[in-house]
């Protein structure tokens, strides 16, 4: 039997997100929540119904198709990331890139991220998770 394909919301482009929380309020499984500027998905609760995508007024949510055990997201708690660069150094697939997260009081906060287009290149080895001194990284598998 061929593996089943799933569609999952994986990334919110924070530059487009206006924090209206429509995605969280419309989720029938309570799989989405906000923590400050970060939107979090509990993939154990997410059924892939894509209601969140349909209600987003800014088209800020990226969706991907995945099969079981595929890496579908590398979640970084940006409030914990101190831009140390360890993830960049240890990733065997060179997936991390610098990302402008926010501008506050004239200061630009830079962090690292794995772009959604590179999730398929992630082997899920967990080296970044184990090496992050801030415990800010979590690799999500379907």
Q: What is the pLDDT of residues 7-55, one digit of tens each?
A: 777 677 777 888 899 999 999 999 888 877 677 788 778 888 889 999 9
Query: Residues 21, 79: one domain?
Result: no
Predicted model pTM: 0.62
- Structural domain including 112 reads 72-142
pLDDT higher than 70, residue 3: no
* Residue finishing a domain among 10, 35, 68: 68
Instruction: Give 56's pLDDT tier (boundaries 50, 70, 90).
Output: very high
96 plus 120 within the same structural domain: yes
Last residue of a domain, one of 68, 90, 111: 68
Domain end residue (candidates: 50, 68, 86): 68
Residues 115 and 97 sit within 8 Å (Cβ to Cβ): yes
Which of 125, 116, 120, 61 is CA-nearest to residue 87? 125
Mean pLDDT over residues 77-103, rounded?
87
pLDDT of residue 132: 96
- The proportion of the chain whose per-residue pLDDT surpasses 70, expressed as a percent, equals 95
Nearest of 13, 129, 10 to residue 71 by alpha carbon = 10
Same domain, 45 and 58: yes
Question: Sorting pLDDT into bands at 50, 70 and 90, what band is 1?
Answer: low
Whether residues 120 and 56 fall in one domain: no
pLDDT band at residue 135 using 50, 70 and 90 as cut-offs: very high
Same domain, 56 and 77: no
Strands, DSSP E only, in the chain?
A: 5-12, 32-35, 38-41, 61-67, 71-76, 97-104, 107-113, 137-141
pLDDT in the model for residue 86: 95
């Amino acid at each position: 039997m061929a593996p089943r394909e799933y569609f999952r919301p994986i990334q919110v482009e924070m530059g487009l997100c206006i924090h209206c929380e429509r995605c969280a309020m419309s989720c029938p499984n309570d799989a989405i929540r906000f923590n400050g500027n970060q939107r979090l998905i509990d993939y154990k609760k997410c059924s892939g119904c894509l209601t969140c995508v349909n209600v987003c007024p800014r088209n800020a949510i990226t969706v991907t198709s995945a099969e079981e055990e595929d890496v579908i997201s590398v979640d970084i708690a940006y409030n914990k990331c101190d831009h140390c660069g360890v993830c960049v150094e240890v990733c065997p697939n060179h997936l991390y890139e610098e990302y402008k997260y926010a501008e506050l009081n004239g200061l630009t906060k830079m962090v690292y991220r794995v772009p959604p287009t590179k999730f398929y290149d992630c082997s899920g080895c967990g080296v970044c998770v184990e090496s992050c001194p801030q415990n800010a990284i979590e690799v999500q598998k379907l």
